[in-house]
A and B are shown apart, each in its own frame.
Chain A
């Protein structure tokens, strides 16, 4: 099956300018996403995963600069588009966001129906009645129910709020949804319910998704592919089974091993010594070398290139893999 590439990010560098210099939040990240697939973007906090997502949506704070790179969406470099064009033609219509801390992303003084309808009216030129009608259908779709259109956010539980935010992201039939930590603040049972909704919608609507999370167990159960990010770079990427089963990068190995599993034998939990690096002055060579148990001389000097592993959809950037 030939799958169409929906989004391709090439050598993206997004830096934040602060008084002490430039924080290299995303420093040469590259990944691609096929139509109808879901990609997990995983890594510790501060590794640049949210910044990468906001770069795609062009929603970066004012002190951020995209220094280099291309973001090709259906073949078109969206970084070259004017903000106005991007806002009208792409944002929310083609690419939408389920933001981090979605529980607090809702406006507390507006009922949820109006909030969803607002997005529809703004981007789709729909009438008020049509917009409300569609908002109701969306709420039905995510399992909140259209009878809750007139409710205010404080009247909904955490899981319901999260579903409402998902409904809002679906409002203009986007091709790509970026979900930034969609279940972080939820309890396990609510999390399982919300993930169920996400998986179901993805199948039904043939959505493409990027799910950003530090929770590798959640990604294992939701995504088709995964990209592991460390200090602004992608260190390993590929098909979900390949990455989890034939893990090659030492960082990915440790990260997966750090998760306690509820099933099977109780195994020793792995820890990663040290702390994530300071992105103002990232380490030379491979950025993981100060914390890597296999670090060699070359790791300190040269940054490893991303190489393809055998003939599988599996890429890794590590000097150990040749």
Chain B
């Protein structure tokens, strides 16, 4: 495609300071920091669903929040439709946010229990002055609700979140992101709280919306099996870094990074006769306050060598569009 990507992230970093006691904070001049994101770059094409996968604590949620500046990044640049978001003032940012929305993780907690579905969906329109009068607001809301399969809208408009099932809440949360007809949506584990049977329906609904509105998605998930159905390209994160990125089928079928391979191997398969050999990597995620030197995965990597302990690998292309940060990529 000749069109420029809708979102370009360059060398994004986010460090959270660790709270110290009063005495320690006066005597030490080097504050420990949680390196939630430690220099990542990626881009999202127009109309594309880009997946960000990884374990909890790898920084994927922080990344999602940073790219729309809900959390202020420590360093790095974010270009949304060519505009550098980091240079925008609050006022300009608010205007840009009209075109970028977020769906939060937990539809049980991200909907205000004291607001009706109508109020929840009308609020973004009112805040952004997108509608001239209440009739117009109702029209937009009803259209989005029909798109998202909350029909008939009249039946749901005056309900409160506690009167909805999990699947319906998730739809309201999705509808809220779509009322402003955005060009880009960050979806932070939007279906992880749902049961399998409802989850597939929610996933299909989102894919339909992507097709219909040509909206781009940054789809954050820990379920790498799901990315096969949702995403065009994915990036796998480990401890604040992207370790592998490429077209989803390439990454899933031929993972080049040992971590990606382990992640895929750990996913259970709904087939009792499958004879997959499972090599489960041992140990736990190291602390992001003092990440391991060299390659961050070397402490748990079955193939780690001396070089991995000393040097940090860069992302290199192993195959067209398939990048991996490993000195000894798997064949």
Interface, chain A (partner B; CB < 8 A): 44-45, 157, 159-160, 187-193, 195-196, 214-218, 220-221, 240-241, 244-245, 254-256, 258-263, 266, 269-273, 275
The 8 Å CB contact of A44, one of B197, B252, B269, B280, is: B197
Complex interface: chain B residues within 8 A of A187 (CB): 55-56, 222
State whether the Cβ of B89 lies closer than 8 Å to any Cβ in chain A.
no
Complex interface: chain B residues within 8 A of A270 (CB): 200
**Chain B: interface residue count, which band?**
35 or more
State whether the Cβ of B65 lies closer than 8 Å to any Cβ in chain A.
no
A98 to B12, CA, bound (A): 41
Q: Are B224 and A262 in contact (CB under 8 A)?
A: yes
A55 to B271, CA, bound (A): 30
State whether the Cβ of B267 lies closer than 8 Å to any Cβ in chain A.
yes
Complex interface: chain B residues within 8 A of A45 (CB): 166, 195
- Which B residue sits closest to A193, measured CB to CB? B280
Closest 10 CB pairs of A and B: A217-B268, A192-B266, A217-B270, A260-B225, A187-B55, A272-B197, A259-B270, A262-B225, A188-B266, A240-B272
Which residues 197-244 of B have a CB within 8 angstroms of A? Answer: 197-201, 203-204, 222-226, 228-229
Which residues 239-266 of B have a CB within 8 angstroms of A? Answer: 249, 252, 262-266
The 8 Å CB contact of B263, one of A188, A214, A244, A255, is: A188
Complex interface: chain B residues within 8 A of A160 (CB): 284
A45 to B199, CA, bound (A): 12
- Which A residue sits closest to B284, measured CB to CB? A157
Complex interface: chain B residues within 8 A of A261 (CB): 225, 269-271
Q: Given A196-B280, A269-B229, A270-B200: A189 and B273 within 8 A (CB)?
A: no
The 8 Å CB contact of A220, one of B228, B269, B278, B281, is: B269
A263 to B267, CA, bound (A): 10
A187 to B167, CA, bound (A): 22
State whether the Cβ of B135 lies closer than 8 Å to any Cβ in chain A.
no
Q: Are A215 and B196 in contact (CB under 8 A)?
A: yes
A256 to B196, CA, bound (A): 9
State whether the Cβ of B282 lies closer than 8 Å to any Cβ in chain A.
yes
Q: Are B195 and A244 in contact (CB under 8 A)?
A: no
- Which A residue sits closest to B202, measured CB to CB? A271
If A188-B222, A240-B272 are given as contacts, then 12 extra A-B residue pairs at C-beta distance below 8 Å, sorted by A number, are A44-B198, A188-B224, A192-B265, A217-B267, A245-B273, A255-B196, A256-B270, A261-B225, A261-B270, A263-B269, A270-B200, A271-B201
Q: Are B272 and A220 in contact (CB under 8 A)?
A: yes
Q: Are A216 and B196 in contact (CB under 8 A)?
A: yes
24 contacts between A and B (CB under 8 A): A44-B197, A160-B284, A189-B263, A189-B266, A190-B55, A190-B284, A191-B268, A192-B266, A215-B268, A217-B270, A218-B268, A220-B274, A245-B273, A259-B196, A259-B270, A260-B225, A261-B225, A261-B270, A262-B225, A263-B269, A269-B229, A271-B204, A272-B197, A273-B201
A309 to B90, CA, bound (A): 67
Q: Are A221 and B196 in contact (CB under 8 A)?
A: no
Q: Are A263 and B274 in contact (CB under 8 A)?
A: yes
Complex interface: chain A residues within 8 A of B252 (CB): 262
Complex interface: chain B residues within 8 A of A218 (CB): 268
Q: Are B229 and A189 in contact (CB under 8 A)?
A: no
The 8 Å CB contact of A189, one of B249, B272, B280, is: B280
